[in-house]
Amino acid sequence: MTSPPARLRRIAHLDMDAFYASVELLRYPQLAGIPVVIGGGRRRGDGFDERLLAQAASCHPERTWTEQDLAHVPVDCFPTLATYSGRGVITTATYPARQFGVGSAMGLMKAAQLCPHAVLLPVDFEAVYRQSRAFKAIITRTAPVMENRGIDEVYIDFTEVPGGQDEGGRVLAARLQAEILAATGLTCSIGIAPNKLLAKMASEFHKPKGIAVLYAHELRDRIWPLSVRKINGIGPKTEAKLLSHNIHTIGQLAQLAEQAPAWLQTTFGPSYGHWLAQAAWGLDDSPVITHSEPVSISRETTFERNLHAVRDKAELGAVFTQLCEQVAADLQAKAYAGRTIGIKLRDDRFKTITRDHTVETPIADARSLRRAAGLALKRAPLQRPLRLLGVRVGKLYKVEVDGAMRPVLTSVHSRIHSHAVASPTEKSTRLKQKLHPAQDHQAQLALLFED
C-alpha cells in the first residue's frame, strides 16, 4: 500500500489594504477614491466629528447635521494637508494618495508638499483594534494555525486546511477574502508560498485586493528581479551597503551568495551573512507561531511642534503621564508587569536617546511606571527641544490568576538592579546633594516630569 503524496507546504501572508485608512472610509464612504492620509493626532476625545459637522452646517445651513449624517458630509468640508502645520507623521495613506509619493512614516509637512489636496483624518485606535480582532477571528475559524504579526497582518499555515492545497492555496485565500469583506467591509491582499519569507513578498504583488500564488520553482523569474529591499529583514543600512557593492537585485545577491559566501559573512557577520544567502535563495524554515509573548510593551507620540522641558513643562508632563497610563492599561489588559522601565526621546536634530531604569519588583500601575520612567529620564539630555517621547516596559512577567508572576523570558537569573523606585523624600534628598553644575541642571529638568 503506497503512502499518499506529501502535501506541499503552503504558507500565506495576509495583509489588510491600507488598514487604518480603510477603517476610516467605513465611517466616511464619500472619501473613497480620493487621496486620504491618516495621522497627526488621535480621534478619541478630540471633537473631530463635531468640528466636521459644524463645518458642514456652515457650508450648508439649509439642513440640520447630526452624527447620523457623517457619511454625507461633503468632501470639501474635510480638512486637507494644505492647512496642516505641525510635526505629525503619517500612519497610513489610501492608494490614491500613494500615487503622489505619500506613504507611511512620512512627515505630514512633507506630504503636504506632495499632495496638498489630500484629506487629513485622525487615527481612531478603538475602531482599528476592533476591526483587527474581527478579521483575525474570521481567519482562525477556518485556519487555526495563524501567527499574529501586527494589527493588520498575519501569517497562516494553509498546508493542512481543507482547500489549502487547491490551486496552490488560491481557493482558500479567495474564501477568506470574501468572508472578511462580508463581515467587516474591508479588503486584504494575500500571498501564498512555500514559506513565510516568500509569502510576505508575494502579498505585495497584486495590491490591493490581490492574491498571488508562488511556487519554489518560480524563484528565478518572480523573486530574483526584485530589489534586495523587498526581503523582509533587509533595512536601509544593509541595502545601502549592498548597493555600494553594486548588488541591487535579489538575484545578484543570490549569485554572490553562491560564488562568494565568505565575503557575505565577513562583510555582514557570520549569522546575518548566512541569513542573507539563505533569504536570496528563498530558503526559510521558520514555523508559523500561534502564540508568543511580547519582549516589551511601549507607547510613544510625535508632537505637533517641538516641545522644551522647561518652556513646555505642563504640556510635556501631561503627555508623559498619558503615555504611562496607556502603557499601564496595556500591561493590565494583557496581565503583564515589568521591571525595566525605559524612555525614548527624539530631539530637534532627529537624534534618538533611550534610557532605562530597573526596579526590584515588577510593576504595572501608572503611578509606579511614571516614577520609574522619571528616574530613567533624569539620565537623558533634556536641553534641546523634543519632537518625540515614548515609554517602554521590558523584562516582563506574566501575572497568573493566583497573583504569582512568571518571567516571560528565560533569564530568571538576570542581575537585579540595585536602585528601586525612589520615594518623594529620597528625591528631595538627592536634589540637596552637591552636583556638578551641568548634572544639577539636568536633574532639575528631569524632575519636571516626576510626581
Is 360 an annotated catalytic residue? Answer: no
Largest CA distance in the chain: 86
- Domain count of the chain? 4
Which of the residues 24, 67, 147, 153 is marked catalytic? 153
- Region 257-261: mean pLDDT is 93
pLDDT tens-digit map of 318-352: 889 889 988 988 888 888 999 999 999 999 888 99
Contacts of residue 377, Cβ cutoff 8 Å, sequence gap at least 6: 343, 355, 446, 449
Read off the pTM: 0.71
426 and 301 share one domain: yes
Give percent above pLDDT 90 in the chain: 64
CATH number where 155 lies: 3.30.70.270
pLDDT tens-digit map of 148-201: 888 899 999 999 999 999 999 999 999 999 999 999 999 999 999 999 999 999
Residue 286 domain-assigned?
no
306 and 441 share one domain: yes
- Region 104-126: mean pLDDT is 90
Q: What is the pLDDT of residue 40?
A: 62
Peptide bond just before 208 cis, omega within 30 deg? yes
435 and 323 share one domain: yes
Check whether 96 has a pLDDT greater than 60: yes
Check whether 412 has a pLDDT greater than 70: no
Contacts of residue 251, Cβ cutoff 8 Å, sequence gap at least 6: 220, 223, 224, 225, 280
426 and 371 share one domain: yes
Give percent above pLDDT 70 in the chain: 87
Full domain range(s) for residue 119: 18-124
Residue 319 domain-assigned?
yes
Q: What is the pLDDT of residue 440?
A: 43
Q: What is the pLDDT of residue 410?
A: 38
- Region 356-366: mean pLDDT is 93
Check whether 434 has a pLDDT greater than 60: no
pLDDT tens-digit map of 20-44: 999 999 999 999 999 999 986 666 5
